[in-house]
């Protein structure tokens, strides 16, 4: 048994609370099954609701709570009807990446058994690759800093050696871990080095990182060609690493290959902190209806447990992560559990009950 770990929990807006509460309950159950004490829960305010209520979408108390936590579990933030005076949406989840220097956006793309993807080739239902997105610079460096007048608007892309090197190193280390688990051991740089100087610079730094990880094979792909290959034969990829905006777009495309954003977890990881959250938004149109799919949230919780196992050297957390992931797979395995956005009638309660039943069966 290890010491109790603390979680900063940010349910945010829309369906956030609906999917966060059952996720935390499943995490605590998985920890109990492996003999670990319940994690300490620190529920914090952030998002469009916080902005409306407090005039601040990311209060100082929330940032402080995140800094003090062992890990951060975030649901969904923002509401199209609530905007800043300049017309942009409330996105404190992005602000948090900059605040905590969470430079590696990890977007696993793994087929869940029983979830049929859109590709006819059966290999399209057996996907298992990871997109790593640089999360602190690129085109997103212009968030809140762009210019606009009556004739033009500009946002500037920033690529630095430090930012590129550390995210590429992260991707190669992830590929090493995956290779030890049986994957092919490749990292593909997704860029536009044939057009932009910033991307040619990115590729040069990528090559430096590749040279330092000689056991992993470097690959290259222009972002437009990679977008095509993700539709045509996505199974060729192992780990991909790319600039912020490219990653934002490609990760949503990749989510479509595994059942949609409701099945797509993510993490934003830095050297000292990490946030785990589903790839989808707050879905205010279905908030309170019970129709939301909590699976991506549950998978993000499993990612958090896996990360804590390594970062805190708590092997039992790895067991808890595997149990929760297996429970999700078991719940969907026979194909009868179909979420509402995929044409079925399974919402938060039904999916939670199925996953909980599968998790309890492992005890």
Q: What is the mean pLDDT of residues 344-350?
A: 96
Mean pLDDT of the chain: 95
Residue located via tokens 């992993």:
216
- The pLDDT of residue 361 is 96
Confidence check: pLDDT of 341 > 70:
yes
Taking the mean position of all CA atoms in its chain, how far away is CA 163?
Answer: 19
Cα distances from 273 to residues 177, 269, 286, 315, 317, in angstroms, run 20, 6, 31, 19, 17
- The pLDDT of residue 46 is 94
- The pLDDT of residue 2 is 63
Topology, domain 1-106+264-363? Isopropylmalate Dehydrogenase (3.40.718)
How far is it, in rounded angstroms, from Cα 356 to Cα 323?
Answer: 11
Q: pTM of the prediction?
A: 0.94
Q: What percent of the chain has pLDDT over 90?
A: 87
Q: What percent of the chain has pLDDT over 70?
A: 99
Q: Are 175 and 241 in contact (CB under 8 A)?
A: no
CB neighbours of 122 closer than 8 A, spacing ≥ 6? Answer: none
Q: Strand order of the sheet with strand 71-76?
A: 40-43, 6-12, 71-76, 274-278, 265-269, 104-110, 128-134, 239-242, 186-191, 217-222
Summarised one tens digit per residue, pLDDT across range 139-169 is 887 777 888 889 999 888 899 999 999 999 9
Considering the domain 116-257 in this protein, what is its CATH number?
A: 3.40.718.10
Q: Is 362 helix (H, G, I), strand (E, B) or coil?
A: coil
pLDDT bin (cut points 50, 70, 90) of residue 307 is very high
pLDDT bin (cut points 50, 70, 90) of residue 94 is confident
How far is it, in rounded angstroms, from Cα 74 to Cα 33?
Answer: 24
Q: What is the mean pLDDT of residues 258-287?
A: 96
Q: Look at 90 and 254; give whichever has higher pLDDT.
A: 254
- The pLDDT of residue 347 is 97
Which part of the chain has CATH 3.40.718.10?
A: 1-106+264-363, 116-257
């Amino acid at each position: 048994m290890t010491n109790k770990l603390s979680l900063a929990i940010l349910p945010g807006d829309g369906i956030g609370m609906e999917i966060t509460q059952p996720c935390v309950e499943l995490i605590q159950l998985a920890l109990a099954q492996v003999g670990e004490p319940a994690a300490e829960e620190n529920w914090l305010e952030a998002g469009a609701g916080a902005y409306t209520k407090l005039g601040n979408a990311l209060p100082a108390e929330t940032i402080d709570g995140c800094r003090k936590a062992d890990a951060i579990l975030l649901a969904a933030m923002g509401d199209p009807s609530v905007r800043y005076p300049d017309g942009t949406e409330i996105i404190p989840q992005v602000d948090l990446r900059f605040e905590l220097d969470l430079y590696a956006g990890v977007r696993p793309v793994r087929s869940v058994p029983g979830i049929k993807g859109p590709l006819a080739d059966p290999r399209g239902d057996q996907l298992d690759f990871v997109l790593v997105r640089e999360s602190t610079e690129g085109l997103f460096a212009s968030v809140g800093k762009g210019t606009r007048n009556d004739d033009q608007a500009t946002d500037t892309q920033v690529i630095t050696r430090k930012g590129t090197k550390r995210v590429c190193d992260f991707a190669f280390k992830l590929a090493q871990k995956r290779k030890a688990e049986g994957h092919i051991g490749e990292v593909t740089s997704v860029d536009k080095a044939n057009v932009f100087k910033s991307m040619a610079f990115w590729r040069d730094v990528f090559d430096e990182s590749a040279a330092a990880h000689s056991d992993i094979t470097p690959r290259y792909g222009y972002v437009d060609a990679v977008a095509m290959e993700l539709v045509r034969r996505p199974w060729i990829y192992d780990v991909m690493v790319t600039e912020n905006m490219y990653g934002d777009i490609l990760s949503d495309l990749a989510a479509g290959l595994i059942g949609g954003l409701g099945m797509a977890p993510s993490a934003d990881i830095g050297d000292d902190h990490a946030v785990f959250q589903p790839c989808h938004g707050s879905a205010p149109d279905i908030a309170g209806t019970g129709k939301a799919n909590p699976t991506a949230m549950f998978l993000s919780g499993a990612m958090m447990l896996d990360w804590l196992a390594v970062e805190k050297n708590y092997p039992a957390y790895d067991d808890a992560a595997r149990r929760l992931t297996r429970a999700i797979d078991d719940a969907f395995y026979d194909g009868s559990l179909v979420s509402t956005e995929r044409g079925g009638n399974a919402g938060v309660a039904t999916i939670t009950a199925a996953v909980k039943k599968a998790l309890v069966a492992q005890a």
